[in-house]
Chain A
């Protein structure tokens, strides 16, 4: 009896040893016949059961069946693994494409907004929001832009009905935030804006902006420059330069437009920056006292800065997109490459 068990052990070692090295279909078939076939080695052992003590037969038989099962399953597994390799040799073909999980990508505008939020959140700015469809009060009047003011011509407005319009900027969120909160307030408000501009390379009738507002005691123009400088460096790297030019907005005084040095030519002048070396980002300034009065803040006590930023413009700068319309074409050949 011990001889049969020993033979089974030997068979086990031998068979598993050989199986590892088999690569061709012929070798596999030969292996199957040799060990697992009707006239194979394991069946051979079972045939000999009659020759041993009846009380030991069950034990040996079970061992033999166990080996047969294990070997069969190992054999099938090995066979399967050979089948799935369509290359005959086992060396990895580095040049074969891997099996992709086909992940999707976030839209460049979302990525820019995400990064803007991350930067300002880390600087202590909360995120605020307001409706796209607004009242004239929030979009214009409370922002020191009464109906008879020429500044209303700065942006052509889409109207839904009298007094209800599509917001032309994210600045209404300033008003909504200040109405509902006492100073200090420090927010950014990313969102969609609408202007009746015929689409061209740099205009779309709907686009994205991010508003910024910080009101507290002793907030200065110097702080405004600081926060925009930090933002520019965090988003575009330490080489970026920022300049502020005086401008006019009814809701800030002093008002500025700010430009970033052109990322393409590094400020030397190229087509993208119209040979000025600068790319206009948006407007900023110190909150006009009239705006504070509209929301019930005391301009003697508080000062504040506000800024906007053109999300589309920044996205175009980051990814080298020449035409704002490309952002909204949603051409997957483009989006998957960015």
Chain B
């Protein structure tokens, strides 16, 4: 919503600078988003008449015009295609400076002297039209300085008006705000309405079939109008407010809308088939062509204004093309109606048409005072077009709007605001907003809500009015906190926090990605998903909620590889979503963690060689994870069964971690076909963790264990075994012997090579022994070692390596 500082000041006096005005409006709820300066001195620019036009002797597209300003004639070379003798125009004389900075000098143009310039609207920044010179109405007085018409100084403020304040979509509404902010008193324009002898009620009848949707319809008839361009003051103010000038009649309806906030519509009354207005609901499947020349299917129940035969307007939204006011229009019907906000909103939404009119009606126009806007516009139209206003308003208003009154006490106000406002202070604020109040001796005040404030229906609404005019800044900031309640934090937040600390300490950078994701990437992966799909996505590549996290992380890997990073270790914690069968249930949302790792596990340093990531880096990480969070009952598993296998991974490089026989973590190398979807050419390892499950299963806590008192003894053992034999088998075998004193078995080397048989490998183990109550002697250990070796030898045909 744009307002002119000058126009506002005509309605309500104030002596603030435009910045002060903006600040006050912003701090009372009408946020000023920008201020545009339209100030210009317009010196030596005035109205004039083109007396004579002759072709330029040396240029086809130029003319030489004799231009008369009421006292003197000037010879002006003009290039506009529309210049013609008899036109009222704007002349910039020698010495003028145009808003764009162009200075008008005496100049010879192709050998002909020019003493000025005939201007277009655009050149003076008084309109958008740059196609030709501005042609003013025929009755324009000559020699009037332009600055007397449009002012030397004006500022246009662009405001964000909240949807509850339809009254502020007008200059008068905002002037009332200024009044409440202790500017001067609001004044009303003098409406010089001269009516003819013809009775409007003889010209037209109005009936409403659907008073629920259109509670009131008022109209005037204006005859013998002469349609033409708007005078400069009118076209200029509309231009500055961002409204295109059409013709004098349409411009006045817009002008009055910007003044009073009430949308009006002018019809070419001669195009009505019958002399009546019948307001009715649209039937099923009815079509209608609106002013913007689009034929639309109108939703059933919308409001049609008809002439008894055919619709002439989509009520409250837009007029019809077939009854549009044009240069040929002679008689007009001027509508000032009130429509049900919900009806208008439904229609505007369905036909996807949000107009100045629909925006006001759907927020709530002023039902009671709509004939003031009608009179104001009629008077101005008669003045500009020479039309004759038929006597009286034809007003159909079956059920009079009931005014609301609200009772409120000072204690109620102060209870909500934490203030100590007196009843008289409250009363004076409300009165500045033109809300009448009364109270007898009691503490309770009755506020009579004017019809232009449909947003005020309850005491809370009034309290807001009091607070914003009193000033939010004047309300104390109370910083004592009242009594406490038990403070809790959901397990999901706690676990996410723990995970963040763990994985960042482990060297992974946290990333945060969009939840909206590209279904194509998952489709290409040939995995089974049941994604949650958005029915009205922003774009095809953000049409689903991500079913798993790895896609986002592979995007991150790709992005960073493309920026020359090589060693990338990232993780994300977030929800993943899957659709559910039942239509009234919300989709399933699970908290998940995924990490992705590429490049080196150990980054190269000046004395440290690099080493690429492999599966054992991931396994080590998971082992650390188990240890950190005391995950008892966990075991590593191979996920090779078809039921367990996950095709995101390479089949050979996938492991899982089971807790209570449920796989809560998978990790391994990303399959090549998946990487190619993301255009990644280096191996990437990922790990996925089901935090939803882990959070439900509270982590076990550790307990005190007495540290050993006696020193350990270590013995090394190198076993040459078949290559296919897994370390775990030897480990379990030795452990299951349940030997005395054996505390730990550590693998410190695996050797394959020249020194042993090619089908074999050597496992170097370090065995640690300890006695809880004394220092072990060699012979104690020797006995155990002998037993281990003999048992190993009898079970596996293996050699010891010396």
- Check if A and B associate: yes
- Check if B100 is an interface residue, CB within 8 A of chain A: no
A117-B489, A248-B164, A256-B472 given; A134·B586 CB < 8 A: yes
A123 contacts across to B, CB distance below 8 A: 481
Partner of B163, one of A97, A151, A303: A151
- Check if B707 is an interface residue, CB within 8 A of chain A: no
CB neighbors of B among A91-124 (8 A): 96-97, 99-107, 109-110, 114, 117, 121, 123-124
Complex CA gap A159/B418 in Å reads 40
Nearest CB on B from A15, distance (A)? 27
A150-B345, A245-B472 given; A332·B416 CB < 8 A: no
Q: Mark B457-498, 1 if CB is under 8 A from A, else 0.
A: 010110110011000110111111111111111101100010
A40 contacts across to B, CB distance below 8 A: none
Contact of A128 with B514 in the complex, beta carbons under 8 Å: no
Contact of A335 with B511 in the complex, beta carbons under 8 Å: yes
A101 contacts across to B, CB distance below 8 A: 507
A126-B489, A127-B490, A246-B468 given; A132·B575 CB < 8 A: yes
A154-B163, A192-B515 given; A133·B587 CB < 8 A: yes
CB neighbors of A among B412-428 (8 A): 415-419
A99-B605, A99-B608, A256-B472 given; A124·B484 CB < 8 A: yes
CB neighbors of B among A211-247 (8 A): 216, 218-223, 225-227, 229-230, 243-247
Contact of B164 with A205 in the complex, beta carbons under 8 Å: no
Q: Which of B102-110, B226-234, B560-568 is found at the contact surface with chain A? A: B560-568
Partner of B514, one of A107, A127, A204, A246: A204
Partner of B512, one of A184, A253, A327: A327
- Check if B559 is an interface residue, CB within 8 A of chain A: yes
B341 contacts across to A, CB distance below 8 A: 148, 150
Complex CA gap A103/B504 in Å reads 6
A248 contacts across to B, CB distance below 8 A: 29, 162-165
A125 contacts across to B, CB distance below 8 A: 487
Nearest CB on B from A81, distance (A)? 13
Contact of A205 with B542 in the complex, beta carbons under 8 Å: yes
Nearest CB on A from B609, distance (A)? 12
CB neighbors of A among B327-345 (8 A): 341-342, 345
Contact of B589 with A131 in the complex, beta carbons under 8 Å: yes
B532 contacts across to A, CB distance below 8 A: 133, 160
A105 contacts across to B, CB distance below 8 A: 504, 509-510
Q: Mark B566-604, 1 if CB is under 8 A from A, else 0.
A: 001111000101000001001101000000000000010
Partner of A124, one of B481, B493, B510: B481
- Check if A297 is an interface residue, CB within 8 A of chain B: no
Contact of A148 with B489 in the complex, beta carbons under 8 Å: no
Contact of A331 with B563 in the complex, beta carbons under 8 Å: yes
Complex CA gap A286/B536 in Å reads 33
A192-B515, A222-B477, A243-B473 given; A96·B606 CB < 8 A: yes
- Check if A90 is an interface residue, CB within 8 A of chain B: no
Contact of B416 with A286 in the complex, beta carbons under 8 Å: yes
A161-B583, A184-B485, A335-B511 given; A129·B346 CB < 8 A: no
Complex CA gap A327/B607 in Å reads 35
CB neighbors of B among A177-234 (8 A): 184-186, 192, 194, 196-198, 204-206, 216, 218-223, 225-227, 229-230
- Check if B71 is an interface residue, CB within 8 A of chain A: no
CB neighbors of A among B507-531 (8 A): 507-516
- Check if B503 is an interface residue, CB within 8 A of chain A: yes
A121 contacts across to B, CB distance below 8 A: 487, 489
Contact of A330 with B511 in the complex, beta carbons under 8 Å: yes
Complex CA gap A134/B603 in Å reads 45
CB neighbors of B among A288-329 (8 A): 288-289, 303, 327-329
- Check if A153 is an interface residue, CB within 8 A of chain B: yes
- Check if A51 is an interface residue, CB within 8 A of chain B: no
A174 contacts across to B, CB distance below 8 A: none
Nearest CB on B from A285, distance (A)? 8
A104 contacts across to B, CB distance below 8 A: 503-510, 569-571
Contact of B488 with A245 in the complex, beta carbons under 8 Å: no
Nearest CB on B from A314, distance (A)? 14
- Check if B556 is an interface residue, CB within 8 A of chain A: yes
Number of A positions contacting B (CB below 8 A): 89
Complex CA gap A101/B565 in Å reads 18
Nearest CB on B from A278, distance (A)? 9
Q: Mark A51-67, 1 if CB is under 8 A from B, else 0.
A: 00000000000000000
Contact of A216 with B482 in the complex, beta carbons under 8 Å: yes
A220-B417, A225-B476, A245-B26 given; A102·B515 CB < 8 A: no
A225-B475, A248-B165 given; A106·B504 CB < 8 A: yes
B577 contacts across to A, CB distance below 8 A: 132-133
Contact of A103 with B570 in the complex, beta carbons under 8 Å: no
Measured CB to CB, the nearest residue on chain A to B354 is A153
Contact of A222 with B362 in the complex, beta carbons under 8 Å: no
Complex CA gap A218/B516 in Å reads 42
A303 contacts across to B, CB distance below 8 A: 415-416
- Check if B538 is an interface residue, CB within 8 A of chain A: yes
A127-B493, A220-B415, A226-B478 given; A328·B512 CB < 8 A: yes
Complex CA gap A329/B512 in Å reads 9
Measured CB to CB, the nearest residue on chain B to A138 is B586
Nearest CB on A from B358, distance (A)? 10
- Check if A20 is an interface residue, CB within 8 A of chain B: no
A216 contacts across to B, CB distance below 8 A: 482
A148-B342, A222-B417 given; A106·B477 CB < 8 A: no
Complex CA gap A184/B482 in Å reads 11
Contact of B507 with A196 in the complex, beta carbons under 8 Å: no
B569 contacts across to A, CB distance below 8 A: 104
Contact of A117 with B478 in the complex, beta carbons under 8 Å: no
Contact of A330 with B516 in the complex, beta carbons under 8 Å: no
- Check if A2 is an interface residue, CB within 8 A of chain B: no
Complex CA gap A26/B481 in Å reads 76
B497 contacts across to A, CB distance below 8 A: 114
Contact of B482 with A160 in the complex, beta carbons under 8 Å: no
Nearest CB on A from B560, distance (A)? 5
B608 contacts across to A, CB distance below 8 A: 99
Contact of B487 with A246 in the complex, beta carbons under 8 Å: no
B493 contacts across to A, CB distance below 8 A: 117, 127, 129
Contact of A254 with B419 in the complex, beta carbons under 8 Å: no
Nearest CB on B from A100, distance (A)? 8
**A103, A114, A330, A335, most chain B CB atoms within 10 A:** A330
Nearest CB on B from A251, distance (A)? 12
A161-B535, A226-B479 given; A133·B545 CB < 8 A: yes
- Check if B144 is an interface residue, CB within 8 A of chain A: no
- Check if A166 is an interface residue, CB within 8 A of chain B: yes
A206-B514, A222-B477 given; A124·B415 CB < 8 A: no
Complex CA gap A93/B77 in Å reads 83
Complex CA gap A206/B568 in Å reads 25
Q: Please report B residues at the A interface, Cβ cutoff 8 Å.
A: 26-29, 31, 162-165, 341-342, 345-346, 362-363, 415-419, 458, 460-461, 463-464, 467-468, 472-473, 475-490, 492-493, 497, 500, 503-516, 532-538, 542, 545, 556, 559-560, 563, 565, 568-571, 575, 577, 583, 586-587, 589, 603, 605-608
Q: Please report A residues at the B interface, Cβ cutoff 8 Å.
A: 84, 86, 96-97, 99-107, 109-110, 114, 117, 121, 123-129, 131-135, 148-151, 153-154, 158-161, 164, 166, 184-186, 192, 194, 196-198, 204-206, 216, 218-223, 225-227, 229-230, 243-248, 253-257, 286, 288-289, 303, 327-333, 335-336
Rank and list the top 8 A-B pairs by shortest CB-CB distance, nearest first: A222-B418, A220-B418, A246-B29, A248-B162, A254-B464, A246-B468, A104-B504, A244-B472
- With A226-B478, A246-B468, A336-B509 known, 7 other A-B pairs at CB within 8 A are A104-B571, A133-B577, A205-B542, A226-B479, A330-B556, A331-B563, A335-B509
Some 14 contacts from A to B, beta carbons below 8 A apart, are A121-B487, A158-B536, A186-B485, A192-B515, A205-B542, A220-B416, A226-B480, A243-B27, A244-B472, A247-B162, A254-B460, A289-B460, A303-B415, A332-B565
